[in-house]
Structure 1
Amino acid sequence: MNPLLAAYGALALGIVSEVIGTSLLPRTEQFTKLGPTAAAITSFIVALFFLSHALKLIPLGVTYAIWCGVGMVLTATVSVLVYRSSFDLPAVLGIILIICGVVMINVFSKSVAH
């Protein structure tokens, strides 16, 4: 398997794990509910494990930018779908700008090893 593909796969798994952990936070009820708390903490540990593997080949700044950008967009999506949150136009435009930034880094930046 291509090592760079494996690094991006690890980054994707880390992002998904982080989004799961973050999405579970409201269900922990300020860490008073044991099941959701344990699941959230486990998700964060798994996320950091995969993030550390992604960092073997992808520079820290690029990895973290992708991690934050994609994580924010996915967490916002979960917020809308699961918790019935709503966003106004500036929030939607901000999310679109985040997506554009992640695409710009991956497609045009020479900092990313392609």
Structure 2
Amino acid sequence: MHWFYLAIAILSEVAASTALPAAQGFRNPLPSLAVVAGYATAFYFLSLTLEDIPLGVAYAVWSGVGLALVSVAGWVIYRQSLGSVEIAGILLIGLGIIVLKFGGGH
């Protein structure tokens, strides 16, 4: 169940981060509300994961998957470029997450 909570935390953080450009410095109300609600939800569910998953592992997975998904969201939604170096970095993060998930007994 704690990995499910971590997935909710990640998706909430990705939604909030993706809404940040549209919030325009918190001048645009609806995206601003999405940012605040998304981050609040992300930190709440991240805190629940810490009952079972060590902080370092949970945070590494949360930030790594979040970084990769936000990069893809920026590419899809905001047409930001992803070059070969960025793609390679995202793949390496993914490999690190697999090692953490399956190599550490959690």
TM-score bracket, shorter-length normalisation: over 0.9
Q: 1:42 aligns with which of 37, 40, 60?
A: 37
Tell me the distance in 1 between the aligned counterparts of 2:2 and 2:101: 14
Structure 1 segment 1-114 matched on structure 2, within 5 A: 6-109=1-104, 112-113=105-106
Tell me the distance in 1 between the aligned counterparts of 2:52 and 2:36: 26
SS at match of 1:18: helix
Deviations 1:75-98 (A, max 9, x none): 111111111111111111111110
User: Structure 1: where are the runs of 5+ without partners?
Assistant: 1-5
User: Structure 2: where are the runs of 5+ without partners?
Assistant: none
Tell me the distance in 2 between the aligned counterparts of 1:23 and 1:100: 23
Q: What is the CA RMSD across the aligned residues, in angstroms?
A: 0.9
Corresponding pairs, count: 106
